[in-house]
Structure 1
Amino acid sequence: MYISRARGRSAAFAAALVATSLLATACSNTMGSAGSGDASADSSLFGGSAVTGVTLTLWHNTADPQALLDLYKAYEKESGNTLQFVDIPASTFPTTVQTKWATGARPDILEWHGNRTDLLALNGSQTMVDLSSMSFVAKEGQLATLSGSLDGKTYAATIGMPTVFGLFYNKSVLAAAGLSVPQTYADLAHDCTVLKAKEPGVIPLYEAGGSGWPQQVLSSFDYVAQYNKGNTYAASILSGEAKLNDPNGPLVKGLEAYAALKSAGCFNSDSATGTWETSLKDVLAGKAAMVANGSDSVPMLDADAGGNDASVDAAVGFTGVSATSAVAGYAPSPLGTYYVPKTGDTTKERAAIQFIEYVTGAGYGAYIDEAATIPTLSGTATPKMQGLMQQIDAAYRDGATLTWNSQVPGSGNFGPESAKLLAGQEDAQAVADKVQDYYLQASAAAGS
């Protein structure tokens, strides 16, 4: 176990997880005396004087941006408590957390994914304090029912903006080829053909299979987005009305469209080993025309440009893209999503709840201003954002849908299976068949 004090990290790491994209009142004096269990069952966790002078262990992602690190420092100063950080490497975040969790180890505060599937992986309804009665829940609105939520209860505070999935593109490259911004997969196929003819030295679509997760974006997150309005596609899977491996269903068709782009030579020659870091550098430099990825990539683009946001805005644009329309997908980001695990130490549980109060209260406004990002809590003004983030915000607000995998158990196995499609080891139907099997196994294990 590696334990350290939080320290500044390059913003370049803020997007290391896509598979994987905020904090306003001082620590309340309305917290209570000892009690354990979930919030709704044990109101004593939510009343009484503020806890001070304790050390709270926080498992956090090493991709936390500086704005979150500064928020932690502000909390320590305001509360008189100390945060002891267990750094979870961004590159192995899901597996490391789940492995540590399986040993019975528990932090006082956990930074973790908000997806239902990831909460189920930690048996959240039994292991996390129910935060449903806290004031931030109403301010989150619908997000509180999607992030850190199970069976109508909210177990997490989500202050980090959701990750928005779509397409980053180099403006100059598309313009030089006489192309408009693509919105559909037919557009992507057409643009690939044109770019290969008019810009032969440019990679039409960079794919970063070597990083393990980026191929999921183009192979399903983007394609399926338009079919999951109101979470309808995921709901049809959960109800048994549809199956992930239906030959004419959205997942199989998305995988087939992805395979067709690969067969047409639209990807970089090293697509199975290419990296997320290189994909962003190449789109920024115009070596690649497009890359499908999430909004957490913006800090990396800014870092690649030496912190010159204006040059990034001049070079790179963002759009939603789906099967036949320009719909973006989104998913709760692990960065800035916090849980209070049940540890049996009621004093620390109460102090951890006060941490949640602070980051969604007194500390929230300053965090939003420093992060220059989209607020997740109502009543908070959106700060001035760089142009690329404004495009992402517009795509998010213009009908973006929750990614299908956010609600479907067993979908954590989709990444390795989609990688096999990219490597030519499995076809689209075989990938979907396996993902359907994983879903059934996970549902049975969860008793659903």
Structure 2
Amino acid sequence: MRRAVSVLVTACLLGLTATACSDSTAGAGADAAPQGPVDPTANLKGVKLTMWTAQNSVSQPKQAIEAFEKATGAQITTEVIPDPYESNVPTKLASGVKPDLMFWQPTGSTLPFVQPQQNLLQLDKEDWVSKLGKTEQSLGQVDGHRYAAIVTSPAVLGVYYNKDVFKKAGVTAMPKSYDDMLAIAAQIKAKTGVAPFFEVGGDKWPLQWQVQAQLTDLPQSFWDDLNKNKESWTNKVVVDAITKYKTKILDGGLAQKNYRTATFVDQGKAIMDGSAAMALNVTSLQSEIQAASSTAEMDAKLGWFPIANSAANAEYSPDQTNGVVAFRTGDTKRQNAARQFLSFWLGQDYPDYIKTGKLVSVQPAVPNPAGLPQTAIAQAEALSTATGVFQVKALTAPDMHLALADMIYGKKTPQQVAQAAQDQFEQVLKARGVSGF
């Protein structure tokens, strides 16, 4: 996931239709949930479907689409929605245009932005649902109904580290808590002079992860109360996490000197060449490195470990490449064809799909393909005990990374970062008409 998503604010400010800023379920009739068995390879000659993708996911469904077209005679055309995808999709939907299928982040904080009760097919009883892993089954739902198929494993948040730097610093055991990790960072700086962390102020979105890892001890009751407007992002735990990131890592000299302007691409290069020891980021960093490095090179240079505030556990962070939704277009033939495509994709085609894409499997019964880097395998193993990031737990996810970017330039204090998150959280949920806001 490259950004926290709170596009409903954008949609409302653009002056879109009232339903774009409402949680109304009006119009969710029987055709919202076509049911019954699906024959994945039934003849669909002459049926044409459209699938919306982001620029970075346009090639992801290629194998599944080509195999489905060959097996059924259907035609699926992909249409790239320009970045920022999460803002432009609601805008286009509000104009009355709908695809048949679309990549979309399958979280309770983001699915509501496309009004699933009105716009999407319910997928509660599809044949692939029971095949998903435990974490994947928890995604893709709103108000007890499934609206998204989970086609790839959610991104996992953890720490990539350079093995040689750790060895030179004498690090022999991975940290068991966030504070342990900071102690190791200080050890690395003292013994090697290498920047312990590589932070990405230039692209902004990765700034949130150091804070996110510290929020993992917050109980579910906090998130339940937050979603009822009985708690706040200005809670002391949140403010303290932001403050620790600023004082211990940024001001404390545990990040590289150019942390304000460094980019995501720079981060991958630095971890691989050893000019930085660690990078706390999600799976997209692995994908970035993998695009320029072989599995053998990655295995030789990189390690990965999970981290939470008081445990060696990871966090999972779904993005738009993980979920696929099917739209209520009013054309029953196309709606059923979309369901058939999802059944094919997550059924007989799934082993070939993940092998072609070198992806971690979302189905326990389907093994991971050979040739994955060890970092990917470690992340897959950590997923079963991972906790969701705040994009999973909160009703909507504030753009904390933008406020943190202001903080690194001295424009906001940690308290003001937390207040900005609270203000945006309230604004979005009030616009959606959520009770209590």
Match of 1:234 in 2: 223
Q: Is the 8 A contact 1:330 1:402 kept in 2?
A: yes
Q: What aligned pairs does 1:31-430 form with structure 2 within 5 A after superposition?
A: 43=34, 50-64=43-57, 68-89=61-82, 92-140=84-132, 142-143=134-135, 146-179=138-171, 180-200=173-193, 202-220=194-212, 222-227=213-218, 231-247=220-236, 249=237, 251-260=238-247, 261-305=249-293, 308-384=294-370, 385-397=372-384, 399-430=385-416
CA distance in 1, matches of 2:30, 2:158: 37
5+ residue gaps in structure 1?
1-15, 21-35
**CA offset at residue 378 of structure 1?**
3.8
Q: Secondary structure, in 3 states, of the residue corresponding to 1:117?
A: coil
Deviation string 1:374-422 (CA, Å, 9 cap, x unpaired) is 321242223333212121122223x210112223234242232222223
The alpha-carbon distance between structure 1 residues 233 and 146, as it changes in their structure 2 partners (threshold 3 A), is farther
The alpha-carbon distance between structure 1 residues 139 and 401, as it changes in their structure 2 partners (threshold 3 A), is same
Q: Secondary structure, in 3 states, of the residue corresponding to 1:245?
A: coil
**CA offset at residue 47 of structure 1?**
6.9
CA distance in 1, matches of 2:364, 2:375: 22
The alpha-carbon distance between structure 1 residues 206 and 152, as it changes in their structure 2 partners (threshold 3 A), is same
CA distance in 1, matches of 2:394, 2:346: 28
CA distance in 2, matches of 1:414, 1:18: 10
The alpha-carbon distance between structure 1 residues 375 and 44, as it changes in their structure 2 partners (threshold 3 A), is closer
TM-score by structure 2 length? Answer: 0.85
Q: Is the 8 A contact 1:226 1:323 kept in 2?
A: yes
CA distance in 2, matches of 1:208, 1:319: 19
The alpha-carbon distance between structure 1 residues 153 and 71, as it changes in their structure 2 partners (threshold 3 A), is same
5+ residue gaps in structure 2?
6-26
Q: Is the 8 A contact 1:234 1:407 kept in 2?
A: yes
Q: Percent identity, please.
A: 25
**CA offset at residue 129 of structure 1?**
1.0
Match of 2:9 in 1: none
Q: Is the 8 A contact 2:37 2:127 kept in 1?
A: no
Comparing 234-243 with 70-79, which one deviates more in the overlay? 234-243
CA distance in 2, matches of 1:317, 1:381: 22
Output the amino acid matched with 1:396.
L
TM-score by structure 1 length? Answer: 0.84
Match of 1:4 in 2: none
Give yes or no for the alignment of 1:17 onto 2:13.
no
The alpha-carbon distance between structure 1 residues 362 and 145, as it changes in their structure 2 partners (threshold 3 A), is closer
Q: Secondary structure, in 3 states, of the residue corresponding to 1:361?
A: coil
**CA offset at residue 241 of structure 1?**
4.8
Deviation string 1:26-68 (CA, Å, 9 cap, x unpaired) is xxxxxxxxxx966675547877965432221111123238663
CA distance in 1, matches of 2:400, 2:369: 36
**CA offset at residue 175 of structure 1?**
1.3
Q: Provide the aligned C-alpha RMSD in A.
A: 2.5
